[in-house]
């Protein structure tokens, strides 16, 4: 099972500090138990974090506290969705996003 990940952004660069809706479609014949959403910064000094999880379709979360960038630090993240079906099988997908000044 591989989820299909989409964001509310029309490009890969989104305004920093603004809420961002992230949605995953996760079709699976056994049924989907949950979809977890994670943010992995490109900067290895920054920790990855769980944004949230959804247990029912549409599998969606709002990332309320997106990174804040300034003129010197345009931050990039890989946002991933990890879908787990009712038998415990997992699949994942990711998309790279940059956060720029609003």
pLDDT score recorded for residue 40: 92
Band of the pLDDT at 2, cuts 50, 70, 90? low
3-state helix, strand, coil in the chain (%, to 5): 0, 55, 45
Question: Is the model's pLDDT at 34 over the cut of 60?
Answer: yes
CA distance 76 to 95: 11
**CATH code reported for the domain at 4-100:** 2.60.40.10
Residue 50 has pLDDT above 70, yes or no: yes
CA dist list (Å): 73 to 18, 26, 76, 87: 16, 34, 9, 42
- Whether the per-residue pLDDT at 12 is higher than 80: the answer is no
pLDDT, tens digit, 9 for 90 and up, residues 76-87: 899 999 999 999
**Nearest-CA neighbor of 18 among 88, 74, 87, 65?**
65
């Amino acid at each position: 099972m591989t989820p299909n990940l989409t964001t509310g952004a029309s490009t890969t660069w989104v305004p920093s500090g603004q809420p961002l809706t992230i949605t995953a479609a996760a079709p699976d014949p056994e049924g989907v138990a949950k979809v977890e959403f994670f943010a992995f910064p490109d900067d290895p000094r920054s920790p990855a974090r769980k944004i949230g999880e959804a247990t029912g379709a549409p599998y969606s979360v709002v990332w309320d506290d997106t990174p804040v960038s300034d003129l010197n630090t345009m931050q990039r993240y890989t946002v991933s969705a990890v879908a787990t079906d009712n038998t415990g099988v997992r699949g994942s997908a990711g998309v790279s996003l940059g956060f720029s000044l609003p």
